[in-house]
């Protein structure tokens, strides 16, 4: 069941910072930090599960199983990437129902052609606007609760320009999207122009190293944005830390204090070993 807290926060104009999570370690850590939402990134989930690019290779089944487990193991409302809905209109209905049944709170659907690509890589193409409008209408009709939010993303900026992207964002809002996400604006001026043109809660995608400049939370909030996601932060930090740790081992033949590590005892606690040990004490036959 969708968590009504996310919709309520948007109605109260409470700004939402959502870190990207992509598997259970990142999700468990983020869940304990008091964020208002977690963002399940398609890029990171595909990378961690398949070791492949976010290029339309992962299926609905690949994603829903991992997303559902993240939702089961966390308490924070989850926003989840659903690419293009994994097909046509019937697929969109199936995807919306599956994500809602899994306990996701907000689903992100985009207007790229299949196979889709990461929104901060080149070569993306979008479907006709009327086709995406229909997908949004199907998504809205398919949900069982208004607390389950529909995020409509357009990738038109890169190939068709900002004006077309804004036009699509306006159309998607009119079609019933709860939140509008215009991917890859290329300057703070464009981010501001989007905010002034669309009367709907807006999502900003802050990708470290991506096409969009990183903008401070307060600036986005002042412009009227409702959500900022940081999809790449977790897996880029993970990749950097793991590479450094393995390099330390290779160079020194042992791990050294040069590379800080998550304390083993705290990691045991993160995964819930105290419960296992308490169970064993209670039911030990010795």
List Cα–Cα distances, 124 to 34, 120, 148, 182, in angstroms.
35, 9, 28, 14
Structural domain contains residue 280: no
Structural domain contains residue 276: no
* pLDDT at position 121: 64
Structural domain contains residue 62: yes
CATH code for the domain of 53: 3.20.20.60
Residue-range definition of the domain harbouring residue 144 = 4-238
Structural domain contains residue 255: no
Tens digits of per-residue pLDDT, 124-135?
789 999 999 999
Mean pLDDT of 48-77: 94
Computed on alpha carbons and rounded to an integer, the radius of gyration of the chain in Å comes to: 20
Structural domain contains residue 164: yes
pLDDT at residue 258 tops 70 = yes
Choose between 159 and 230: higher pLDDT: 230
| Crossing angle between the packed helical segments 162-174 and 188-197, to the nearest 10 degrees | 30
Query: pLDDT class for 118, splitting at 50, 70, 90?
Result: low
Provide, rounded to the nearest whole percent, the portion of the chain with pLDDT above 70: 97
Structural domain contains residue 274: no
Query: pLDDT class for 286, splitting at 50, 70, 90?
Result: low
Query: pLDDT class for 14, splitting at 50, 70, 90?
Result: very high
Mean pLDDT of 13-31: 97
Tens digits of per-residue pLDDT, 158-180?
989 999 999 999 999 999 999 99
Provide the domain count of the chain: 1
Structural domain contains residue 226: yes
* pLDDT at position 125: 87
Average pLDDT, the chain: 94
* pLDDT at position 55: 83
pTM score? 0.94
* pLDDT at position 120: 66
Structural domain contains residue 264: no
Mean pLDDT of 72-90: 96
Do the beta carbons of residue 201 and residue 180 sit within 8 Å?
yes
Tens digits of per-residue pLDDT, 199-216?
999 999 999 998 999 999
* pLDDT at position 138: 98
pLDDT at residue 117 tops 80 = no
Separation CA 55–CA 123 (nearest Å): 11
Query: pLDDT class for 113, splitting at 50, 70, 90?
Result: confident
pLDDT at residue 285 tops 80 = no
Question: CA geometry: angle at 200 spanning 195 and 204, to 5°?
Answer: 50
* pLDDT at position 114: 78
Mean pLDDT of 241-266: 96
């Amino acid at each position: 069941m969708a968590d009504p807290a996310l919709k309520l926060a948007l109605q109260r104009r409470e700004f939402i910072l959502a870190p990207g999570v992509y598997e259970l370690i990142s999700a468990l850590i983020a869940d304990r930090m008091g964020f208002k939402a977690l963002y399940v990134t398609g890029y990171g989930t595909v990378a961690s599960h398949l070791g492949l690019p976010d290029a339309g290779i992962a299926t609905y089944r690949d994603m829903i199983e991992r997303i559902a487990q993240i939702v089961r193991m966390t308490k924070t409302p989850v926003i989840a990437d659903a690419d293009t809905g994994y097909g046509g209109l019937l697929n969109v209905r199936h995807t919306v129902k599956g994500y809602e049944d899994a306990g996701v709170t907000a689903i992100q659907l985009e207007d790229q052609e299949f196979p889709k690509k990461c929104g901060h890589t080149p070569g993306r193409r979008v479907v006709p606007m009327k086709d995406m409008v229909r997908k949004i209408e199907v998504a809205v009709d398919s949900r069982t609760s208004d607390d389950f939010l529909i995020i409509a993303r357009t990738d038109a900026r890169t190939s068709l320009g900002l004006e077309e992207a804004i036009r699509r964002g306006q159309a998607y809002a009119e079609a019933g999207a709860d939140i509008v996400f215009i991917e890859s604006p290329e300057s703070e001026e464009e981010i501001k122009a989007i905010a002034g043109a669309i009367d709907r809660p807006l999502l900003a995608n802050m990708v470290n190293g991506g096409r969009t400049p990183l903008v401070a939370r307060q600036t986005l909030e002042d412009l009227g944005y409702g959500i900022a996601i940081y999809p790449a932060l977790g897996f880029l930090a993970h990749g950097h830390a793991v590479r450094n740790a393995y390099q330390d081992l290779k160079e020194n033949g042992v791990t050294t204090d040069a590379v800080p590590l998550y304390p083993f005892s705290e990691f045991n606690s993160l995964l819930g070993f105290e419960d296992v040990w308490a169970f064993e004490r209670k039911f030990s036959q010795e």
